[in-house]
């Protein structure tokens, strides 16, 4: 199929499925992928990619169960496609090049339209030219509000990510061969909402919902909060209905690329007092990523005033009937280079799933890693054969970890499982969303050098 034929085909299919296609989407404001400039440190950085010429990608707000129309226009000379990470939406809106849509060339618009079934903290990023466009800034947060107001006084989104800059604040190459073959290439400038240790004002004594999202291409953040009474209320979008310990400096929370954590925070009562999101980076003292500063008279609210967040409508797998599948993540003996068509390649393969590197986004005759039957329960055994950590992400479905050979994992719903060195984790899910769902490591250098594939639900 030619690129153009496929585009027409998918629009026709969207119409046949009762989606509104171009006509309604045309009424919604376009999200325009474009070049941007921004002072990431003290001076301008050129060559960024965003949805505005001089600001980070905006927080996109939606409401659980309500339609969102997000027409995306590409004004870059490179191809792209937009993916909505964690949302359980129709496959043809998932934004994966060649698998669910054709890459969008310069000047093209794709009329993304979907109804998020789940409330929570999600995010968006390109899935074509992924390394390049994400590294240059194109990662944004999506907030899907609960149908009922959960009772916070305010909220704060923190989008954590690194940039790789030289002394003149200009971009260094986003990846290195050495990094791609190991833990990935790390940025050297850590930001929260593209700023360094920003301070945000919130009412003293108020209840704040703090949504922290790791949209970095590589880094696993080790986080904790200082100065607050707080509780973890959601993980990877979904409400946490069990008691999970609060992280501390000694025992920080590991948040891998793609993962999210929501805290309920009680602001200090004294004006000017702060709550700090702290990160531990290798070989560095603890650093403040962002601060919340109390302002005004104290409203003296209490975490116990919060009702638990309502559960999202995620089907629970039946472990007695679940069929097992095994996936091994490791190096590849083959080398070679993936065929990603218009979507960019790092030029080599280092990684594999089940010892086969992903032949590429545009490779012909590429089959699914597994085919799951609609409505059935499955246990997927994820085996990390490598010494590196891998945040393994599955599109379109939500799963629950059931055991690990290394640690006790709380049974929290997620779409991204961080596998530790040598770890084997079993996850369980109900295959209840039909389509071809990308399944890959969210360290983008791993994804783009073989650690990718897809799972089919029919
Ligand atoms: Cu957040 Cu396939 O990606
Ligand atoms: Cu995703
Ligand atoms: Cu990986």
Residue 147: CB atoms within 10 A of its CB come to 10
What's the pLDDT score for residue 15?
37
For residue 26, the model assigns a pLDDT of: 53
Residues with CB under 5 A from ligand 2 (ion): 85, 395
pLDDT, one tens digit per residue, over 55-95 is 999 999 999 999 999 999 999 999 999 999 999 999 999 99
Q: Which atom of ligand 1 is nearest to the CA of 416?
A: 1
Ligand 1 atom closest to 258 (CA): 1
Each residue's pLDDT tens digit, 197-222: 999 999 999 999 999 999 999 999 99
What is the spatial distance between Cα 82 and Cα 74, in angstroms, rounded to a whole number? 10
pLDDT digits (tens, 9 = 90+) for 139-182: 999 999 999 999 999 999 999 999 999 999 999 999 999 999 99
pLDDT tens by residue, 328-339 = 999 998 888 999
Average pLDDT score over residue span 4-18: 39
Residue ranges around ligand 1 (CB below 6 Å): 83, 85, 125, 127, 258, 393, 395, 438, 440, 442
pLDDT at 1 over 70: no
Contact 453, 436 (CB under 8 A): no
What would the mean pLDDT of 6-32 be, rounded to a whole number?
53
- Segment 224-232 shows an average pLDDT of 96
| For ligand 1, atom 3: residue with the closest CA | 85
pLDDT at 109 over 80: yes
Count of other CB atoms within 10 angstroms of residue 54 = 11
Helices (H), 327-450: 444-447
pLDDT-based confidence at residue 8 (cuts at 50, 70, 90)? very low
Reduced to 3 states (helix: H, G, I; strand: E, B; else coil), residue 204 is: coil
Distance 191 CA to ligand 2 centre (A): 22
Angle at 456 between CA 451 and CA 458, to 5 degrees: 175
With a pLDDT cut of 70, the percent of the chain lying above it is 94
Confidence of residue 9 (pLDDT cuts 50, 70, 90): very low
Query: Parallel, antiparallel, or unpaired: how do β-strands 400-404 and 424-430 relate?
Result: antiparallel
Q: What is the DSSP string of 153-165?
A: SEEEEEEEEEE-B
The predicted-structure confidence for 114-148, as pLDDT tens digits, reads as follows 999 999 999 999 999 999 999 999 999 999 999 99
**355-381 pLDDT, tens per residue?**
999 999 999 989 999 999 999 999 999
Sheet of strand 109-114: strand arrangement: 44-50, 31-39, 68-74, 109-114
User: Which is nearest to 401 in space by CA: 381, 440, 380, 428?
Assistant: 428
Q: In this predicted model, what pLDDT tens digit does every residue of 22-66 receive, in sequence order?
A: 444 457 899 999 999 999 998 999 999 999 999 999 999 999 999
- What is this structure's pTM? 0.94
Q: How far is the CA of 223 from the centre of ligand 2 (A)?
A: 22
- Taking the CA of 180 as reference, the closest ligand is 3
User: Which pLDDT score is estimated for 42?
Assistant: 85
Q: State pLDDT tens for residues 271-321.
A: 999 999 999 999 899 999 999 999 999 999 999 999 999 999 999 999 999
What's the mean pLDDT when you consider all of the chain? 94
Beta-carbon neighbour count of residue 10 at 10 Å?
A: 17
Contact 306, 150 (CB under 8 A): yes
Nearest CA to ligand 1 atom 1: 85
Nearest to 84 by CA among 42, 104, 119, 114: 114
């Amino acid at each position: 199929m030619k690129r153009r034929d496929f585009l027409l085909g998918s629009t026709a299919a969207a119409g046949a499925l009762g989606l509104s296609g171009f006509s309604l989407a045309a009424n919604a404001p376009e999200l325009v992928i474009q070049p941007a400039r921004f002072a990431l440190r003290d001076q301008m950085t050129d060559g960024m990619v965003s949805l505005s010429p001089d600001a980070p990608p905006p927080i996109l707000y939606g409401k659980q169960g309500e339609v969102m129309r997000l027409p995306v226009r590409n004004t870059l000379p490179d191809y792209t496609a937009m993916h909505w990470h964690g949302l359980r939406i129709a496959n043809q809106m998932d934004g994966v090049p060649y698998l669910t849509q054709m890459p969008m060339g310069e000047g093209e618009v794709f009329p993304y339209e979907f109804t998020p079934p789940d409330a929570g903290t999600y995010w968006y990023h390109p899935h074509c030219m992924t390394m390049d466009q994400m590294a240059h800034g194109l990662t944004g947060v999506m907030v899907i509000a609960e149908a009922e107001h959960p009772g916070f006084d305010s909220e704060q989104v923190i989008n954590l990510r690194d940039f790789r800059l030289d002394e003149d604040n200009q971009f260094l190459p986003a990846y290195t061969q050495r990094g791609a073959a190991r833990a990935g290439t790390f940025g050297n400038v850590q930001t929260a909402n593209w700023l360094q240790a920003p301070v945000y004002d919130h009412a003293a004594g108020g209840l704040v919902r703090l949504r922290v999202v790791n949209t970095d291409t590589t880094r696993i953040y080790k986080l904790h909060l200082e100065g607050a009474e707080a509780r973890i209320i959601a993980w990877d979008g979904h409400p946490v209905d069990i008691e999970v310990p609060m992280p501390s400096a000694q025992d920080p929370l590991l948040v891998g690329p793609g993962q999210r954590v929501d805290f309920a925070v009680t602001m200090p009562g004294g004006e000017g007092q702060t709550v700090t999101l702290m990160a531990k980076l290798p070989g560095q003292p603890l650093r403040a990523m962002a601060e919340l500063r109390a302002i005004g008279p104290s409203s003296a609210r209490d975490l116990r005033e919060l009702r638990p967040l309502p559960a999202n409508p995620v089907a629970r797998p039946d472990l007695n009937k679940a069929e097992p599948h095994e996936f091994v993540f490791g190096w590849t003996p083959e080398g070679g280079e993936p065929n990603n068509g218009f979507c960019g390649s790092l030029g080599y393969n280092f990684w594999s799933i089940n010892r086969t590197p992903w032949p590429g986004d545009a490779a012909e005759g590429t089959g699914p890693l597994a085919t799951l039957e609609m409505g059935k329960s499955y246990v997927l055994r994820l085996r990390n054969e490598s010494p590196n950590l891998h945040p393994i992400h599955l599109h379109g479905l939500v799963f629950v970890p059931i055991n690990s050979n290394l640690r006790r994992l709380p049974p929290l719903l997620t779409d991204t499982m961080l596998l530790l060195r040598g770890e084997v984790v079993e996850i369980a899910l109900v295959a209840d969303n039909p389509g071809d769902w990308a399944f890959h490591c969210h360290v983008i250098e791993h994804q783009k050098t073989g650690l990718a594939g897809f799972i089919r639900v029919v």
